[in-house]
Every structure is written in C-alpha cells, then in structure tokens.
Amino acid sequence: MTDDRRMGVPLPRKTKPDKPIQTLTGLTAIPEGSSVPPARAGVPSTGADRVYEAIYQAVLERRLSPGERLREQELAEQFNVSRTLVRQALQRLAQEQVIELLHNRGARVPIPSLEDAGSVFDARRVVECEVARQLAGRLSAEQLQTLQHLAASETEADRQGEHALAIRLSGEFHQAMAHMHGNPVLTRWLNGLLPTTSLLMSRFKRQGGQVCVAHRHVDLIAALQKNPAAAGAEMRKHLNELEQSLTTPTTPRRQLRDVFQAYRDSPE
C-alpha cells in the first residue's frame, strides 16, 4: 500500500451489511479471556468466509506482518478448502484493502508508509470523533457496561501478556462504539481503517508503547457520559496519541536480528 492511491477514506465495503465482519463488533458480552470472535449465530460460514475472517483477524491482531506473503496453496491446505475459495477470500480482502494482490505474484500483507498513517488517522478522526460526539449522553446502561467490559478485558489481557488478544479487544472497543452509533456506513469505514492501523502499529510504533492504552478507553467511557464536546475531544486526544506513537520503523531491525540469531545459536 506504499504506492498508493487507496489510503484516503475508503469507499464503503461492497459486502452486505450482515456479512461476518460486521458481526465481529461483538456487542454481546465477550467471554473473559476468549481469543475467539463472538459467536455469529445464524450467519452461515462458508470456506471462503473462514479464510477471510482468519486473515482479517490475523492482520488486526498483528499476527501477520507488513509484507508477509499469502500463498494460495498454503492457505488452501491450512483451511482445508479449495484454492478457488482461497482466491475468493483474497479478492474480497484486497477489495477492502486488508491485503494486496501483486500482479502475477500472489498476495501479500500491505506495507503502509508513515504518509499513509496521516491519511488513516485523519479518516479515523473524522469518523470516530463524530461517532463519539453523537453517542455522548445517549448510551444505555447496558451499552456502557459493554464498553466497560471491553476496556477491563483489554487491561486484563495486557496484564497477562496476551498481546494479540489485547490488540483485538482494543479494536473491538472502537468497533463497538461505531456499532452503537448505528450508522452502518461509518461502521464499515472504521472496519476498513483498522487493519491498516494495525499494520502501521507493527511497523512504526514507538517501542514500549501500547496500541490503545486501556486507561484511555476508560477516559473515553467517562467522556461519553458527559457531553458531545467532551466525548469528541477525548476521542481526538486518543487518536492523536496513537498517531504520535508512530515514529521509528522498528520491525525490520528486530526481524533481522531474529533471523541471524538462529545461525549464531546453531551448533557447529
């Protein structure tokens, strides 16, 4: 995604609103410690859906890194589905900019640049500050409880060193707010922006910083119970902090060291 034209506010996804990804917003309570997306009762899951969801989540949770290749044959074997179904999933993911298809060279996880970060965070501020403003003072006790539960689960996951889970819960907090707002277009836009945010965090996050610090989510919940100006301002502050945590490309250096570690340790 380095070269590209696609990092502005994305077009709404071409999927139907009831496709699986929308249901990942998890408005039902999420079981403590669960690493499985909330059950999608009544939503049929095809082979292509399973591949789609697994890759989307893996990008979101940063288990797939920027630039990583996604080979059809390997995925087909992993998921025990045909290459045709894998291709369908990859095409849908590419349409939604979660991965990119390289001409005659298969698929890979995009490598967003710091310039892309500016575009992504601008778009997130537009969407999410508005969501926060409009939600302020309107959330039911049950909705507030859902957000509190997500923030508490995220803190707990982080404390236990379950980083993938903490990252996912942190994304779900933002998705849950958008879902509670109730505008499906804003929800789709946000869903389109979160994978790139995760990839940017993988590449450029300042070492030692967290993704979404859970206490910021607690502050957001407090602001949501005040007024639109406070809620919008708190969301802006949170997104600004996230954007400012992106500085040095740390991943390549770490990967290189890991690569050579194996050679240094191998017995002669």
Q: Which SS3 state, helix, strand or coil, does residue 63 take?
A: coil
Between residues 222 and 256, which has the closer beta carbon with respect to Zn ion?
222
Residues sharing a CB contact under 8 Å with residue 12, sequence separation 6 or more, in sequence order = 185, 188, 189
Show contacts of 13-20: CB within 8 Å, 24+ apart.
Answer: 13/95, 13/96, 13/188, 13/191, 13/192, 14/95, 15/92, 15/96, 17/184, 17/188, 18/43, 20/45, 20/49, 20/52, 20/53
Between residues 67 and 209, which has the closer beta carbon with respect to Zn ion?
209
Between residues 212 and 221, which has the closer beta carbon with respect to Zn ion?
212
- Shortest Cβ contact with Zn ion: which residue? 212
Q: Which two tokens stand for residue 124?
A: 């997130």
Residues sharing a CB contact under 8 Å with residue 174, sequence separation 6 or more, in sequence order = 128, 190, 194, 212
Place of tokens 């570690």: 261
CB of 182 to Zn ion, least distance (A): 20
Between residues 87 and 236, which has the closer beta carbon with respect to Zn ion?
236
Which of 55, 93, 109, 212 binds Zn ion (CB under 5 A)? It is: 212
CB of 212 to Zn ion, least distance (A): 3
Only one of the segments 62-70, 131-139, 207-215, 221-229 lies at the binding site for Zn ion (rule: CB under 5 A); that segment is: 207-215
Only one of the segments 8-16, 84-92, 177-185, 211-219 lies at the binding site for Zn ion (rule: CB under 5 A); that segment is: 211-219
CB of 107 to Zn ion, least distance (A): 28
CB of 153 to Zn ion, least distance (A): 13
Between residues 57 and 245, which has the closer beta carbon with respect to Zn ion?
245
Between residues 199 and 212, which has the closer beta carbon with respect to Zn ion?
212
Is there binding between residue 231 and Zn ion (CB under 5 A)?
no
143-182 residues in contact with Zn ion (CB under 5 A) are: none
CB of 250 to Zn ion, least distance (A): 20
Between residues 90 and 239, which has the closer beta carbon with respect to Zn ion?
239
Q: Tell me the Ramachandran region of residue 182: left when phi exceeds 0, alpha when psi lies from -120 to 50, beta otherwise.
A: left
Only one of the segments 54-62, 105-113, 212-220, 243-251 lies at the binding site for Zn ion (rule: CB under 5 A); that segment is: 212-220
Q: Which SS3 state, helix, strand or coil, does residue 61 take?
A: coil
Only one of the segments 9-17, 86-94, 204-212, 228-236 lies at the binding site for Zn ion (rule: CB under 5 A); that segment is: 204-212
| Alpha helices per DSSP H over the chain | 20-23, 47-60, 72-79, 83-95, 114-135, 141-159, 163-181, 184-204, 214-224, 228-244, 251-265
CA angle (107 as vertex; 103, 109 as ends), nearest 5: 125
82: phi then psi, degrees, rounded to nearest 5: -75, 160
Chain contacts with Zn ion (rule: CB under 5 A): 212
